[in-house]
Amino acid sequence: MFPYHPDPVATGAIVRSDGECSCCDRARGYIYTGPVYAAEDLRNRLCPWCIANGSAAARFDAQFTDVVDDVPRDRLFAITQRTPGFSAWQQEHWLVHCDDGAAFLGTAGAAGLAAYPEAWTSLQRELESWPASQAEQFLKALTKDGQPTAYLFRCRVCGSHLAYSDAT
């Protein structure tokens, strides 16, 4: 349903809920819990169907992720206006690879990233300006459900895994 966020239920961006959607006025059994950039406070008030078809973005002039760089306009709109975002400790950002937005897979800790050497390498590059021992200590401290954490993505074109880290 969401090519750029293939399992928003697993990532926690969409949860089971009896709540009514502020866009379609229907209770569909699920509600979006992630960030919404709009004039009105819409957090926990939109269903995934209204996000997917673009009606929530159109009706409320909303976006679901704040920053996406270097992608063609049609993909930019698909990511920002028709894809559930995710919550990050700081400002989230969508990773791009092969001229397209990557698919968000969720948070990951150091142990989980061991299966994704390309993602680990992207995290090491992110910390190149840090003293080596400090960067190594930070990366070893990454945790899936706390902080610091990593946000894991997969390129939709070549299948490479990417990540960036974040903490308060």
pLDDT per position as a tens digit, 13-56: 999 999 999 999 999 999 999 999 999 999 999 999 999 999 99
Structure tokens at 98: 């092969």
> With 70 as the cut, is the pLDDT of residue 67 above it?
no
3-class secondary structure, 55: helix
11-26 in b/e form (b: 16+ CB < 10 A) is bebbeebebebbbbee
Residue that has been written with the tokens 């239920």 in this structure: 9
> With 90 as the cut, is the pLDDT of residue 69 above it?
no
Residue pair 139/124 in contact by the 8 Å Cβ criterion: yes
> With 80 as the cut, is the pLDDT of residue 68 above it?
no
* pTM strictly above 0.75: yes
What pLDDT, on the 0 to 100 scale, is given for residue 89?
85
Using a pLDDT cut of 90, give the percent of the chain over it. 87
What pLDDT, on the 0 to 100 scale, is given for residue 66?
74
Which is it for strands 100-101 and 14-16: parallel, antiparallel or unpaired? unpaired
What pLDDT, on the 0 to 100 scale, is given for residue 59?
97
Taking each helix axis from N to C terminus, what angle separates 117-126 and 132-140, rounded to the nearest 10 degrees?
A: 130
What pLDDT, on the 0 to 100 scale, is given for residue 25?
97
Using a pLDDT cut of 70, give the percent of the chain over it. 99
Mean pLDDT for 66-87 is 88
DSSP state of 83: S
Residue of 164, 161, 142 whose CA lies nearest to 151:
164
Specify the amino acid at residue 157: V
What pLDDT, on the 0 to 100 scale, is given for residue 90?
83
> With 70 as the cut, is the pLDDT of residue 157 above it?
yes
